[in-house]
Homo-oligomer: A and B are copies of this chain.
Amino acid sequence: MTSKYFMPTRVVAGRDCIVQNSDLFRPLGKKALIVTGAHSAKNNGSEKDVKTALDSVGISYLVFDKVMSNPSVACAYEGAGIARSNDVDFIIAIGGGSPMDAGKAIALLAAQEIEEEDLFSGKYDSKVLPMAFVPTTAGTGAEVTQYSILTNDRKQTKTSISFDLLFPSIAFLDAKYMEHLSIETTINTAVDALSHAVEGMMSVRASVISNALAAESIRMIMCCVPEILDWRSVKNAVLDANTREQLLQASFLAGTVIAQTGTTAVHAMGYSLTYFKDVDHGRANGLLLGEFMRFTAKQQPELIGRIIEIMNLQDVDQFINVMDILLGEKETISPEDIRYYSSLAIQTRNIGNCVVTPVQEDLQKIYEASFL
C-alpha cells in the first residue's frame, strides 16, 4: 500500500519568535489581513507582537476580529470580502482553532470565486492567499494542517474543506500567549491534541512517520497530566511555562499527524455534541475517545495495546478514568439524541478512515457507553 507524507508549513517556535523573525513575513506580501476573535489575541499579547513585527518590516495591515467559536460559512465569506475589497496580499490568523479555520477559508475565498454550494466540493483552482498562523491555544494543530473546519448548517454539523494549498506558509509557536488560558480551555485543547494523535494511530492512513510523531505527542501530553491536575488543585497558580511549551509542541506534532491521517469516528461523533449541545470541540472528542478505543481494541488489540503502553497506562479503563478526572461531569444526552447523532456521524468521510470501520449501531453503542 502507498503511504504519503506532506506538511510544507515552516514552523518557528520559541519565546518571542514572531518579533525575532519578522523577516519571515516579507515574502508573503506588503499588506496583511489579521483574522482573529474579538478579545483573546488582544489580551494575550499575540496581536501586539504581530503588529510590532509587521511594522518593523513595513507591512501594512487591517484587522478582521469578528471570528466566533466554531466559525460559520458566512463569517468566512465576510472576511474574504474584506480581504478582496482591501486588496490584501496575505492572511495572518491569530487564535485557537476558530480564527485559524476561518483564516484558511478566507485565504481560499479571497483568491478565487467559489459559490457557497461548492465550498465543500474539494474542486478548487490552485490559488490561495499565503498565510502565517499564530496559535494561541495548544490543541487544534490547525497551524500545520490543510483543513478548514466550518459550521455547516445545511448538514447540521461541522464540515471540513481539505486542500493542500491550505497549509499555512508559516506557523509561529510561542507558548507565552497561553500563559493565562483557563484551566478548562487548557484541558479541552490538550485533550483535543491527544485525540488527534490517538486517532492518527487508529487511522487507515497511519504510517511510520505519522506514528512516530503521534507516539511522541501522546507521551508528551500524558506526561503533562499530573502537572495540570496539580495546577487545578491550587487556586490562582499559573501552569508552569515548561508544561505550556510541551503542550504546544505536542499539539503541533498531533496536527502534523492528522494532516497525514485525517481524523476518525471520534471527531465525526463529537461534531454533533458541539453542533447541538455546544460541547467544546476538544472536550467532545475526549468524552468519546476511550469508548472508541475499546471498540477498536476488539479487532485490533495490539494496536490499542501499543497506544495504552505509550500512555504509560494499564488498559482502556484506566484511560477512561483519566479522561473522567480531567473532564468532570458529563452533559446529559438522551437516547433520542444519540440515535440522531449516530445517523449523522455515519455519513461523514471520517468513518472511512477508521482502521476498524464502525456501523451506525456501533456508533450508537459508543455514545451510549460514553454518556448513559
Residues on A facing B (Cβ under 8 Å): 1-14, 17, 20-21, 207-209, 211-213, 215-216, 220, 249, 252-253, 256
Contact = CB atoms under 8 A, between A and B. Distances in A.
A231 B5 CA distance: 31
Q: Which of A207, A211, A216, A256 has the most CB of B within 10 A?
A: A216
Contacts of A2: 12-14, 17, 20-21
Nearest to A207: B13
Contacts of A14: 1-3
Contacts of A13: 2-5, 207
Given A8-B8, A207-B13, A212 B253 contact: yes
Contacts of A7: 7-8
B4 A11 contact: yes
30 contacts: A2-B12, A2-B13, A2-B14, A3-B12, A3-B13, A3-B14, A4-B10, A4-B12, A4-B13, A5-B10, A5-B13, A6-B9, A6-B10, A7-B7, A7-B8, A8-B8, A11-B209, A13-B207, A208-B216, A208-B220, A208-B249, A208-B253, A209-B216, A209-B252, A209-B253, A209-B256, A212-B212, A212-B213, A213-B213, A215-B216
A11 B6 contact: yes
A190 to B, nearest CB: 16
Nearest to A1: B14
Given A7-B7, A208-B216, A212-B213, 18 more contacts: A2-B12, A2-B13, A2-B20, A3-B12, A5-B11, A5-B13, A6-B9, A6-B10, A7-B8, A11-B209, A13-B207, A208-B220, A208-B253, A209-B249, A209-B256, A212-B215, A212-B253, A213-B213
A11 B256 CA distance: 14
B212 A216 contact: yes
Contacts of A21: 2
Nearest to A21: B2
A193 to B, nearest CB: 13
Contacts of A216: 208-209, 211-212, 215
Contacts of A256: 209
A207 B256 CA distance: 15
Contacts of A12: 2-4
A211 B7 CA distance: 17
A256 B252 CA distance: 16
Q: Which of A3, A207, A212 has the most CB of B within 10 A?
A: A212
Nearest to A171: B5
Contacts of A9: 6
Contacts of A215: 212, 216
A296 to B, nearest CB: 22
A20 B3 CA distance: 12
A33 to B, nearest CB: 24
A20 to B, nearest CB: 6
A132 to B, nearest CB: 14
Contacts of A20: 2
A142 to B, nearest CB: 16
A256 B4 CA distance: 14
Contacts of A17: 2
Of all A-B residue pairs in the complex, the 3 with the closest CB atoms, nearest first, are A8-B8, A212-B216, A2-B14
A171 to B, nearest CB: 9
Contacts of A5: 10-11, 13
